[in-house]
Amino acid sequence: MKVEQIYTGCLAQGAYYLENNGEVAIIDPLREVQPYIERAEKDGAAIKYIFETHFHADFVSGHLDLSKKTGAPIIYGPNANPSFECIIATDGQEFKLGNATIKVIHTPGHTMESTCFLLIDESGKATSLFSGDTLFLGDVGRPDLAQKAADMTQEDLAGLLYDSLYNKILPLSDDIMVYPAHGAGSACGKNMMKETMDSLGNQKSMNYALNQPTKEAFIEAVTDGLLPPPAYFPLNVAMNKKGYDSIDDVMAKGMQALEPEAFETAAETTGAIILDTRTAAGFSQGFVPRSINIGLDGQFAPWVGAMIVDVKQPILLITDEGKEEETLTRLSRVGFDAVIGHLKGGFASWKSANKEIDTVNRITADTFKNEIQIGESFILDVRKESEYRAEHVEEAYNKPLDFINEWFMEMGNQNETFYVHCAGGYRSMIAASILKSKGIHNFKEVAGGFKAIAEAGVAKTDFVCQSKLQKA
């Protein structure tokens, strides 16, 4: 029996390849499906089933394309009602995979259709639990995303999740391996471990959610501290439920290479956002005016979703040469299919054409230390509130990047030069590019972020002035 986890770091997502006796099941596939097809061909096997643990909110699954290309049926658990043909399994239903068996365990709570899949080997022993967003390592799925439960509160859903976990999952054997759909960095939970697989027994002993004395305590624990979900989440759910364009068509459209003149015309006539995926350092030195920088070298796809939000928004790309296909693939994973082309030759061609360019005033941490006056200079910290609470520059204000569309206008009222930083420089450059696109230019962005600032010896504290916290 082969069980392979295919983990994608930028999404903190795990898909699974299961093979037994020439038959393959894919669980929660990513948008680009060719690797699964090629993997099965390498094994001399055929893809028999495509299992979906739920309607994903944080990425667009490849279930439709994979089914179309292989003929394998798509299988959801109870309560799913998609717009396409699939198998809606019953709780406890079993599917044969070679000499092994995959058992359906309906576990509502994260969403109403959430389902775990239990792998039973040839001897009848349960070996692996593919837990989707029901059970993570160190956490459980957030109970506030269910699209079909508008008449239910997050507390109601948390109660269902408790019943699912305590009545159906905890009774399973300790030696079963847990394979979740996500790990640390995903917005689908709040306390996930960096590990991507673990024994159920270890989770029973250390996962806070599995060690609550009462149902009421569980509900309070799993709902405490939940941040608002990214705005693109329901759009991804809709795509997974209703369907989407073929990945092949999306790639063909986005791979159109536009000369600088054509690129400029497209930007002026289509309402497209210009997305520049180069590094923060490269972007700061020169970019097409009003471009938004979200670098491929960071948590690219989630930040695209959080910043652009509308998956139907037309996009024009600027990438490092040779990175066009990778960028399109990573955009498609979160449903941003409306890329209408990319700048041929990258930013260098724009510069060579003598087109207008803009820059970001990026300074070192040492320069920051020498220029600021604590208590007088306006210092903008765009990290998460939890990061700010742990430690921050004295008198800095916290305005998390996640909520920039709510607070950027405040920055237009700053008459003096202000300073922007994050943890390492990735998020602050995103913020800088957005501020510039909104006509706000009187700021300096700090390279290396808080880490470099702390190393430079700038005064810092862990005390939080509540009036300076950005409220969601």
CATH of the domain at 55: 3.60.15.10
- Amino acid 77 reads G
Are 301 and 217 part of one and the same domain?
no
Q: Is residue 20 part of a domain?
A: yes
Q: How many CB atoms lie within 10 A of CB 124?
A: 8
Are 30 and 153 part of one and the same domain?
yes
Question: What is the helix, strand, coil percentage profile of the chain, to 5?
Answer: 35, 20, 45
Burial of 138 (0-12, 13-18, 19+ CB in 10 A): buried
Give the gyration radius of the chain's Cα atoms. Answer: 24
What's the pLDDT score for residue 472?
Answer: 37
Distance, in Å, from the CA atom of 365 to the CA atom of 446, rounded to the nearest integer, reads: 6
Are 348 and 384 part of one and the same domain?
no
What's the pLDDT score for residue 31?
Answer: 93
- Amino acid 229 reads P
User: With 80 as the cut, is the pLDDT of residue 282 above it?
Assistant: yes
Considering only 196-210, 267-281, 287-301, 451-465, which range has the smallest mean pLDDT?
451-465
Place of tokens 């799913």: 80
Q: Is residue 357 part of a domain?
A: no
User: Average pLDDT, stretch 202-206?
Assistant: 98
- Last residue of a domain, which of 352, 379, 413? 352
Non-local CB neighbours of 93 within 8 Å, separated by 6+ positions: 103, 104
User: Average pLDDT, stretch 109-135?
Assistant: 97
Are 462 and 378 part of one and the same domain?
yes
Among 70, 152, 68, 64, smallest CA distance to 108 is for 152
Q: What is the mean pLDDT of the chain?
A: 94
- Last residue of a domain, which of 181, 200, 235? 235
Q: Is residue 240 part of a domain?
A: no
User: Average pLDDT, stretch 190-217?
Assistant: 95
- Residue 448, Ramachandran bin (φ over 0: left; ψ between -120 and 50: alpha; else beta): left
* Residue 358 β-bridge partners: 287
- Last residue of a domain, which of 316, 332, 352? 352
Phi, psi angles (nearest 5°) of residue 459:
-60, 130
User: Average pLDDT, stretch 232-249?
Assistant: 93
Are 227 and 271 part of one and the same domain?
no
Taking the mean position of all CA atoms in its chain, how far away is CA 280?
Answer: 20
pTM of the full predicted structure? 0.86
Are 259 and 294 part of one and the same domain?
yes
235 and 310 Cβ atoms separated by less than 8 Å: yes
Percentage of the chain surpassing pLDDT 70? Answer: 97
DSSP run (H or E) holding 101 = strand 100-106
What's the pLDDT score for residue 147?
Answer: 47
Q: What is the pLDDT of residues 374-385, one digit of tens each?
A: 889 999 999 999
What's the pLDDT score for residue 465?
Answer: 53
**Quick one: CA dihedral 89, 90, 91, 96, positive or negative?**
negative
End-to-end CA distance of the chain: 47
Q: Is residue 277 part of a domain?
A: yes
Q: What is the pLDDT of residues 123-172, one digit of tens each?
A: 999 999 999 999 999 999 999 887 445 578 999 999 999 999 999 999 99
Are 78 and 171 part of one and the same domain?
yes
Are 152 and 271 part of one and the same domain?
no
Are 328 and 369 part of one and the same domain?
no
Q: Is residue 122 part of a domain?
A: yes
Distance, in Å, from the CA atom of 271 to the CA atom of 313, rounded to the nearest integer, reads: 8
Considering only 188-192, 205-209, 283-287, 426-430, which range has the smallest mean pLDDT?
188-192
Are 122 and 253 part of one and the same domain?
no
User: Average pLDDT, stretch 244-253?
Assistant: 93
Q: What is the pLDDT of residues 88-108, one digit of tens each?
A: 999 999 999 999 999 999 999
* Residue 362 β-bridge partners: 445
Q: Is residue 181 part of a domain?
A: yes
Are 296 and 316 part of one and the same domain?
yes
DSSP letter for 209, please: G
Q: What is the span of the domain harbouring residue 457?
A: 362-468
Distance, in Å, from the CA atom of 73 to the CA atom of 55, rounded to the nearest integer, reads: 16
User: Average pLDDT, stretch 187-198?
Assistant: 89
What's the pLDDT score for residue 151?
Answer: 77
Name which residue leads in pLDDT, 264 or 463: 264
Cβ contacts of 276-280, under 8 Å, gap ≥ 24: 276/318, 276/319, 276/347, 276/433, 277/317, 277/318, 277/319, 277/320, 277/323, 277/327, 278/318, 278/319, 278/320, 278/346, 278/347, 280/362, 280/425, 280/426, 280/428, 280/429, 280/447
What is the spatial order of strands in the sheet that 273-276 belongs to?
257-258, 339-343, 315-318, 273-276, 292-293
Q: Is residue 111 part of a domain?
A: yes
Q: What is the pLDDT of residues 448-468, one digit of tens each?
A: 999 999 999 999 986 555 445
Are 290 and 370 part of one and the same domain?
no
β-strands 13-20, 2-8 pairing: antiparallel
Q: What is the pLDDT of residues 310-326, one digit of tens each?
A: 999 999 999 999 999 99
- In which band, very low, low, confident or very high, does the pLDDT at 188 lie, cut at 50, 70 and 90? confident
Between the CA of residue 91 and those of 76, 104, 167, 169, what are the distances in Å?
Answer: 11, 6, 13, 13
- In which band, very low, low, confident or very high, does the pLDDT at 174 lie, cut at 50, 70 and 90? very high
Considering its fold, how many domains does the chain have in total?
A: 3
CATH of the domain at 336: 3.40.250.10
